[in-house]
Amino acid sequence: MKALIIINDPPYGTERLYNGLRLAHALLREKTEVIVFLMGDAVLGAKAGQKTPDGYYNAERMVRRVTKSGRVLLCGTCLDARGITDAEVLEGAERSTMDALAQATVEADRVLTF
């Protein structure tokens, strides 16, 4: 099965990115092919160098875990709007486009949004 998870919310302040990534991790354990597409403020979850308080989840580490077995695509327009350069994005996450999101949507068996 192929799953596409689209996340729009910021990495901190709501728990949508956190829960979307938790679901991605669970699906990857089930041997599902997973693509996570981060758009809007969610692209901030793939910014390298995040420092969170002890005991608090770290979005960067969670995104990195997805890149090990799945794909993380980042809305290029959203990155540009937030002044995030490719050099600031964690290794393994890929700058992407709306066309790529459309293609992933067509190819997915399940599309989930957070």
Average pLDDT, the chain: 97
Residue 49 has what pLDDT?
A: 97
CATH assignment at residue 32: 3.40.1260.10
When divided into structural domains, the chain yields a total of 1
Residues of the domain holding 90: 2-113
Q: Which H/E stretch holds residue 26?
A: helix 16-29
Q: What is the pLDDT of residues 23-56, one digit of tens each?
A: 999 999 999 999 999 999 999 999 999 999 999 9
Q: What is the pLDDT of residues 94-103, one digit of tens each?
A: 999 999 999 9
User: 59 and 17 in contact (C-beta within 8 Å)?
Assistant: yes
Residue 95 has what pLDDT?
A: 98
Instruction: Strands of the chain (E only): list them.
Output: 2-7, 33-38, 71-75, 93-96, 110-113
